[in-house]
Structure 1
Amino acid sequence: MTGEVAGGRVPLPQRTAEARLIVVARAKRAEDYDRVLDVLVEAGIRSIELTLTTPGTFERLPALTDRYGASVDLGVGTVTSEAELARAIGAGARYIVTPVTSAALVAQAREAAVPIVPGGLTPTELFASWSAGASAVKIFPAGQVGASYLKDLRGPFPDLVAVPSGGVDLDGAAAWLAAGAAAVSVGGPLLGDAFAGGDLAALGTRAEAFVSLCARTAH
């Protein structure tokens, strides 16, 4: 088990919560993870979501955990079924991310004491996951609403732990964190073309900029 249930809710992993930044690594194949993760880890990234849209993620996760697990929380994202969730937990995922609202997945993760961040956009979807005991809720796609949306949600849901995801760039990350997001989930604006053979030095520079921003806006 990776967490302790407090009041029926498994908190986000400590490193992820302190970093306030999750990098979504969506590669064409799992063999491409290492060269990119090496740069991210060197730049100070401490939480990385590996997506199931990348073939071979389950098989690669144990080796990646051996390589990076001492300094980085490796989660599994794009989980949409109970079978996938069970396999992710078995492979050593430190947390689970799903793009959907599912009380069944939340219950399964809580039973295993593994943090889970389910996705949603409407107040009804987000409240359903939060009231089911999610560790946090993923506002997705965040780029369609903007940071002011979280301020509106704070009215009826003042205790909501939210992680915006989808189209969050550096300026957007600053705005979401200022609006009260617990962390930001970042993909393309940080990774760019790194998984397509892009400049890894430029990747490191972008990653350092996000790490610095999130550190400056820490609670």
Structure 2
Amino acid sequence: MDLLGALRAHRLLAVVRGSDPEAALRTVLALVEEGVVLVEVSLSGRDALDVLSRARAALGPDAPLGAGSVVTTDDARRAHRAGADFIVTPGLGAGVLEARRLGLPVLAGVMTPTELMAALQQDVSALKLFPAAQAGGPEFVRALRGPFPDAPLVPVGGVDADAARRHLAEGATAVGVGGPLVGDAADGGDLDTLRVRARSFLAVVRERTA
């Protein structure tokens, strides 16, 4: 898939990490039903590979579905087998290299300019600024725009609706959102409030797309 193109078009990546596999699967499907096109299932969630493979079966082959928290070579291989068509990592390492060898696009975790340059040399699709809140928030995105005006930056970590709006205003390509969007839905919480939050975040990113 064209991960960078999808991030530019949709501007929101939902991060699902749950302690209840059935609830995590319901969360993925509810997000897609609400119009969240890009969803990542974090491998740090319980039975995440099973959630990923069941989500792939339910959504069909054309829905963009990613695996997150990919660290090792084995992580990348298992995610690929489970049906992921893009990979998200918390940093640079073996998972990035194996994903690229498998032909999977990568949203690679970086926090410093040095890591950003190293990631671009590894032919990743986009750069996950993580953890975004600790890295300096929207002001950090603005600062990076000076030396790296064309770098596709995707802040992730502590991004609520207001921070999402500010990151996009400063030039972020997209935002990745976990807890502020998913809440406790992937742990068995209420799906109706998840749907309300999804609509709220979609409204924010559509402001910046219009």
Whether the TM-score (by the shorter chain) exceeds 0.5 is yes
Distance across 2 between alignment mates of 1:154 and 1:69: 37
> Are the counterparts in 1 of residues 23 and 188 from structure 2 also a CA contact under 8 Å?
no
1:54 and 2:42 aligned: no
User: How many correspondences in the alignment?
Assistant: 209
Structure 1 letter corresponding to 2:45: T
- Provide the rounded CA distance (Å) in 1 between the counterparts of 2:61 and 2:174: 21
Q: By how many angstroms is 1:71 displaced? A: 6.5
C-alpha displacement at 1:13, in angstroms?
A: 6.0
Moved more, 45-54 or 195-204: 195-204
Q: Determine whether 1:25 maps to 2:42.
A: no
Change (3 A) 1:111 1:93: same
RMSD: 1.8
1:127 aligned residue: 117
1:75 Cα deviation from its structure 2 partner: 0.3
For the pair 1:187 / 2:181, whether they are aligned, the reply is no
Q: 2:167 aligns with which of 147, 166, 176?
A: 176
Residues 16 and 61 of structure 1, relative CA distance in 2, 3 Å threshold: same
Relative to 1, partners in 2 of residues 1:107 and 1:70: Cα closer, same or farther, differing over 3 Å? closer
| 8 A Cα contact 2:20 2:46, kept in partner | yes
1:35 Cα shift? 2.2
Aligned residue runs from structure 1 range 52-201, under 5 A: 52-69=43-60, 72-102=63-93, 104-144=94-134, 145-201=136-192
How high is the TM-score relative to the length of structure 1? 0.88
Alpha-carbon distance between aligned partners in 2 of 1:31 and 1:140, rounded to the nearest angstrom: 28
Q: Percent of aligned positions with the same letter in both sequences?
A: 41
Matches of 2:95 and 2:186, distance apart in 1: 30
Specify the SS of the correspondent of 2:3: coil
Letter in 1 for 2:97: A
Any stretches of 5+ residues in structure 1 without a counterpart? 4-10
Unaligned runs of 5+ in 2: none
